[in-house]
Amino acid sequence: MPALPGLRRYLFALALLAVLTAVSVLLQAEGLATLLTGGGVSLFLAVAIAARVALSWGHGVLSGRFAASVRGALRRRLLGSASDRAGVVATQVTRGVDATDSYLTGYLPSLVVSVVVPAAVLVRLGTTDLASALVVVATLPLIPVFAVLVGKHTKASVQWQLLTKLGGHFLDVVRGLGTLKVFGRAAAQASTVQAMARAHADATMKTLRVAFLSALVLELVATMSVALVAVPIGFRLLSGGLDARTALLVLLLTPEAYLPLRAAGAKFHAAAEGLAAVREALAVPVVPVPSGARCRRRGAPSVVFERVSVSYDGVPALSEVDFCVPAGARVALTGPSGAGKSTVLAVLLGFVTPSSGRVLVDGVDLRSLSPSGWLADVAWVPQRPTLFRGSLASNISLGVPSADVPSAARAAALDAVAAGLPAGYATPVGELGAVLSAGQRQRVGLARALARTSAGLLLFDEPTARLDTKTEEAVLSATRRLLPGRTALLVAHRPAMVSLADRVLELRGGRLCPEVAA
């Protein structure tokens, strides 16, 4: 069973409710048997009926609240995960997390009740009519046995895996649709998506067929089991070997012994997908938050790399890199593509954990700093800035509500672009930036960094790579005004960007070359 937050308390509460449900079942059967044999309406019957209604409501409230807390915890875990498979995470956050309801609010409570209530019913039957109790003891295990035999063919986990794969691949195709069209690969990818969708549909239909078969088997076994008790009871009642009240009590209690198991078995297939989603969400690696994280002073930090090595799937990206960036210094990282320049920035941002070595910030190990406090003092411009659903202004002021958006946009040469949009800075840009070109999206990333005027560390990853010469000059001029008093690490290929640095470090094959003059 997955280790969910608050699961033990939830199971304890379910067990307590199951015990009270068992008591109410016994009281209700006693009261009905008395009423049907001419004894009148008893207080037991009224209390039992009211208790079953209240307990059913309590099960719903308790399960709903626990499921809501688990959904929130799983979504926070997935959104804070270290996974770079955006499509898969998106599917898990939406469809996967919602699918857990059937497991948490349906199957799990039924499973607990199916353990407690049949045991209580068997004890009462044993004290009322031993022969009937023995028949129930012999036939009751048939329901879980047949459920397990049929359930072995369930493919709900395969169905969920196909869905996450389909969601991830579809998002990747949509994001790269422009590139696929340019190289004539859009039709091939459309065929791939169709094949994956058909595979998911086939898996879904197979699961539904097994679910219907399972429901039929469970109903048939339960009905026959009740009949094995009811028929002898009828004959014994006719022959005078059993009084009417005892016979009615046995007939009322016997179905109650099978009902919880039938309910749990019927909900198993609906819960299988949710259980698979829960397990997959809990298996997602999360970004570790150091215990006792320290906060540093705001301002320009000194940064030291001490024999830092990083590997991706066993392939080295950085090999024992050593360098120092004094507070307020401007260092340019150059080298061919794949040399490890972006990996250096990823280490500083906490996206990548070194396999060996360490990074010191003002003499303190970066891993011991509070991630939120550290990133609040960093301005970063990636090669491809990520846009979010919202207006152009909200994308520029991201994380800085008090940012001077017009000034930042003007510094990034984005003000003319905003003036040409239908609603200016209030124009929605969307996650894919449909109204912006690649160069304009790059300028949004630059404006976002320029708006963080209090940042002590600037990380620029080829920020002018997609800009024309005129725009590049405007951006470089704004960047020069931003650099004084701050520590800067600039990944650059163009000479104009390198000219902003007072030191140049060259990386080749993940190793640092001898330093050259800027």
User: Can you give the residue ranges of every domain in the chain?
Assistant: 7-283, 303-377+454-512
Angle at 350 between CA 450 and CA 383, to 5 degrees: 45
Q: Which CATH superfamily is domain 303-377+454-512 in?
A: P-loop containing nucleotide triphosphate hydrolases (3.40.50.300)
- The CATH superfamily holding the domain 7-283 is ABC transporter type 1, transmembrane domain (1.20.1560.10)
DSSP class of 289: P
The DSSP 8-state label assigned to residue 23 in this structure reads H
Q: In the β-sheet with 303-312, what is the strand arrangement from edge to edge? A: 315-325, 303-312, 356-361, 364-365
Beta-carbon contacts of 377 under 8 Å, excluding residues fewer than 6 positions away, are: 296, 298, 299, 301, 454, 455, 456, 457
Question: In the structure encoding, which two tokens stand for residue 254, read together?
Answer: 């016997």
- Write down the pLDDT at residue 509: 82
3-state DSSP assignment of residue 386 = coil
User: pLDDT 10s per residue in the chain (518 long)?
Assistant: 446 777 888 889 989 998 998 888 888 888 888 888 877 666 777 888 888 889 889 888 888 888 888 888 877 777 766 555 555 566 666 666 777 777 888 888 888 888 898 899 889 888 888 888 888 888 888 777 776 666 555 544 445 555 556 555 565 666 566 666 666 666 776 777 677 777 666 666 766 666 676 667 777 777 888 888 888 888 888 888 788 888 888 888 888 888 888 777 777 766 776 777 777 777 766 655 554 456 667 778 889 999 888 887 777 888 888 889 888 888 888 888 778 888 888 888 888 888 888 888 888 888 888 777 788 888 888 877 888 888 888 888 887 777 788 888 887 778 888 888 788 888 888 766 667 777 778 788 888 888 887 888 888 887 776 667 777 777 777 777 777 888 888 887 777 778 888 888 888 888 888 765 44
Tokens of 517: 């003059």
Q: How far apart are CA 215 and CA 209, in angstroms?
A: 10
**Residue 395, both tokens:** 């994308």
- The Cα–Cα gap between 36 and 41 comes to 9
**φ, ψ for residue 42 (rounded to 5)?**
-100, 160
DSSP symbols for 273-308: HHHHHHHHHHHS-BPPPPTT-B---SSPPPEEEEEE
Is 380:320 a contact under the CB 8 Å cutoff? no
Angstrom distance (rounded) from CA 349 to CA 89:
21
3-state secondary structure of 163: helix
- The pLDDT of residue 16 is 92
The DSSP bridge pattern shows strands 503-508 and 330-334 to be parallel
Residue of 358, 351, 361 whose CA lies nearest to 327: 361
State CA 441 to chain mean position distance.
28
3-state secondary structure (DSSP) of residue 18: helix
CA distances from 41 to 23, 50, 52, 471 (A): 18, 14, 17, 89
In the DSSP assignment, the letter for residue 336 is S
CA dist., res. 495 & res. 493, Å (int): 7
Alpha carbons 253 and 30: distance in angstroms, whole number: 9
Cα-based distances in Å from 234 to 31, 135, 139, 247, 456: 21, 15, 19, 8, 87
